[in-house]
């Protein structure tokens, strides 16, 4: 009996070692896969930023006009965009409801067909003839519309055009007219008065967007990179503020209350540069989510359902991160790059999301 037990114990030991090695390899593969996704995302963000710069450099006249806009001018354009896109969204919803109803009818008709070789042959021939007819109709429609995508409805095409035009205005205003652009947030655009909004409002906006699982993961990955970079900038801000206070206090004591601007100016310049980089970082997040991850229809929905506030992509990303971090541990992991965080993901994100 002892001789029989030894091979079994040895076998179990070997199997245990192999399982441990396999688990270690799988963990390493997971980390490498996450790093690969992070690099792809960084590349996508950089490509989108470069493309945005090139697009703006090609339209210098429009850039000058946007730079000279006041807050009232931007709000007027925004309201016109809302008015135009709302009607097209209603048309899109009608088209989608009609398409869904037709699919239900076709499914019911297919289920009611008699089974059998002859019936199946007749049905197959009918479907083939219908498909051929649809192909001719599609070609004729494409020719009539100048080769446009037959799968894109007129309402979808108009929404795409509206969103593209307004997205250019927003991206240019963020970079060249930040003083006017930033005043849009936290303001009731109907009254023009300050009106803080709650997270519940942006959760309602997210609920109507119809984001796919891939889009959600992409947004969470962007958020991780954004919050990580922002944390470094804010840490640098605190150090600069401490140096600025210390320098101001020392110069005031030496000059009996009269501060030395020359001594504190370098710290002011560095602090201004830091704040500018934080603004640019937020602009990159907003632009990438709005222009690259969201579809034009989702952009239109976000704009309409954000009313009476201006759509705040940063607030949308923050509530999505908070919701992802509160998911049960048994569900999917909330973060795409959890191995890059030094502290608990929940603690770090709770500290960063404001």
Contacts of 45-54 with C-beta under 8 Å, sequence gap 24+, read 45/222, 45/225, 45/284, 45/288, 48/287, 48/288, 48/291, 48/292, 49/284, 49/287, 52/171, 52/287, 52/291
222, 348 Cβ separation under 8 angstroms = no
Per-residue pLDDT, 66 = 75
Nearest Cα to 223, choosing from 309, 306, 286, 297? 286
Distances from the Cα of 291 to the Cαs of 52, 168, 179, 200, 260, in angstroms? 10, 10, 22, 24, 46
Per-residue pLDDT, 252 = 66
* Helical axes 213-254 vs 345-352, angle rounded to 10°: 60
Per-residue pLDDT, 212 = 94
Per-residue pLDDT, 108 = 73
CA–CA dist 173, 188 (Å, integer): 19
- Other beta carbons less than 10 A from residue 319's beta carbon: 19
292, 195 Cβ separation under 8 angstroms = no
Nearest Cα to 189, choosing from 22, 304, 328, 36? 304
Residue whose tokens read 């493309």: 51
What string of pLDDT tens digits covers the 354 residues of the chain? 555 556 677 777 777 787 777 777 777 777 777 666 666 666 666 666 556 555 555 555 566 777 788 888 888 889 999 999 999 999 888 887 877 767 777 777 777 665 444 333 334 334 433 333 333 333 333 333 334 455 678 888 999 999 998 888 888 888 788 888 888 888 898 888 888 888 999 999 999 999 999 999 889 988 988 998 999 999 999 999 998 888 888 776 655 554 567 888 889 999 999 999 998 889 889 988 998 999 999 999 999 999 999 999 999 999 999 998 887 554 444 444 443 333 333 344 444 444
33, 336 Cβ separation under 8 angstroms = no
CA–CA dist 299, 293 (Å, integer): 10
The answer to whether the pTM exceeds 0.85 is no
Per-residue pLDDT, 64 = 74
Per-residue pLDDT, 295 = 94
292, 171 Cβ separation under 8 angstroms = no
Per-residue pLDDT, 55 = 56
Half-sphere CA count of 6, side-chain side, radius 13 A: 3
Half-sphere CA count of 105, side-chain side, radius 13 A: 6
């Amino acid at each position: 009996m002892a001789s029989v037990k030894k091979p079994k114990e040895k076998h179990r030991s070997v199997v245990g070692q192999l399982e441990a090695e396999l688990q270690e390899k799988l963990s390493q593969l997971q980390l490498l896969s996450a790093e690969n996704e992070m690099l792809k995302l960084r590349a996508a963000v950089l490509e989108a930023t470069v493309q945005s710069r090139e697009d703006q450099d090609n339209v210098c006249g429009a850039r000058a006009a946007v730079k000279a806009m006041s807050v009232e001018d931007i709000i007027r354009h925004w309201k016109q965009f809302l008015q135009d896109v709302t009607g097209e969204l209603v048309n899109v919803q009608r088209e989608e409801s009609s398409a869904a109803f037709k699919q239900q009818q076709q499914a019911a008709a297919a289920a009611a067909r008699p089974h059998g070789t002859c019936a199946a042959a007749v049905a197959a021939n009918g479907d083939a003839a219908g498909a051929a007819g649809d192909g001719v109709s599609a070609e004729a429609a494409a020719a009539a519309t100048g080769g446009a995508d037959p799968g894109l409805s007129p309402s979808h095409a108009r929404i795409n055009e509206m969103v593209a035009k307004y997205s250019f205005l927003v991206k240019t205003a963020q970079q060249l007219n930040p003083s006017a652009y930033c005043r849009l947030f936290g303001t009731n655009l109907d009254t023009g008065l300050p009106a803080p909004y709650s997270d519940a409002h942006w959760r309602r906006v997210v609920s109507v967007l119809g984001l796919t699982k891939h889009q959600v993961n992409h947004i969470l990955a962007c958020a991780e990179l954004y919050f990580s970079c922002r944390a470094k900038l804010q840490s640098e801000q605190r150090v600069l503020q401490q140096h600025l206070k210390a320098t101001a206090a020392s110069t005031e004591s030496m000059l009996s209350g009269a501060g030395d601007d020359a001594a504190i100016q370098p710290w002011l310049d560095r602090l201004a540069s830091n704040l500018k980089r934080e603004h640019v970082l937020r602009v990159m997040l907003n632009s990438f989510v709005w222009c690259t991850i969201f579809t034009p229809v989702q952009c239109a929905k976000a704009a309409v359902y954000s009313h009476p506030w201006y759509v705040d992509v940063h607030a949308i990303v923050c509530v999505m991160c908070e919701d992802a971090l509160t998911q049960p541990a048994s569900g999917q992991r909330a973060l795409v790059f959890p191995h890059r965080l030094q502290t608990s993901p929940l603690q770090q994100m709770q500290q960063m999301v404001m």
